[in-house]
Amino acid sequence: MKLDTKVAYITGGTKGIGFGIAKALVQAGVKVAISGRKLEVVLQAKANLGSENVLAIAADVRNFEDEEKAVAQIVAKFGKLDIVIANAGLGKFAPIDLLSLEDWNAMIDTNLTGVFHTLKASVAQLKANKGYYISISSLAGTNFFATGAGYNASKFGVVGFTQAAMLDLREYDIKTTTIMPGSVTSHFNGHQPNDADGWKIQPEDIGQMVVDLLNLNPNVLPSKIEVRPTRTK
């Protein structure tokens, strides 16, 4: 891809992995739209990115109409949409007998149904522009662990959904990848990044990975990528 002609949409783009991807794409010359639930937070992230080629959108991926409106805003602003990064997600961890209905539904609705909403709302643009769809799953999408039943279910679902979608969409010359990171320095699950996080994957590392994917020979498709820190703490 000639990246300085491309337009990208990143859900959950205000911090963590989403912000790291947005920063890398802006630096590569891509016009970028980022979304989050609170407009003031998205506007602050836009300011932190320091580029006029960033569009801030208030949208909740749990609401399909929000995603439709987000895509419409992007097309109205930039004329098209080429790259979609379904990144918005959250985690709630508890033994299955203690996991609340509220936390289960929050994870399934955001992590899994939200990924579907984002693709469903953007697929016409991806078809028109022979675009690229990337979902951000997790190593928890292939490795289960105690207290992770709800999170595992959502992320296993994202992996299966994205791989099946890849088979559906490649006939339209749409490339589809799911990235499955391990430990990343982020605000995930209420964590505050600090100096002790140096051993982890950094958000900008995932951003660079996305740029590298976009720059690959169009005949090459890494459809599922597991990525983990080189070492453990």
Q: Among all residues, which ones are annotated catalytic?
A: 151
- CB atoms under 10 Å from CB of 173, counted, come to 12
Q: Measuring CA to CA, how many Å separate 210 from each of 14, 25, 37, 185, 206?
A: 17, 8, 23, 17, 6
Q: Which among 137, 140, 146 is positioned nearest to 98, based on CA atoms?
A: 146
Tokens for 4, please give them: 């300085």
Which backbone phi and psi does 31 adopt, to 5 degrees? -80, 130
Task: Give the helix/strand (H/E) hosting 204.
Answer: helix 203-215
Q: What is the DSSP string of 86-150?
A: E---------TTT--HHHHHHHIIIIIIHHHHHHHHHHHHHHHHT-EEEEE--GGGT---TT-HH
Whether residue 134 contacts residue 90, with contact meaning beta carbons closer than 8 Å, is answered with: no
Which one-letter amino acid corresponds to residue 97? Answer: D
Cα dihedral 43, 188, 22, 14 in deg (nearest 10): 0
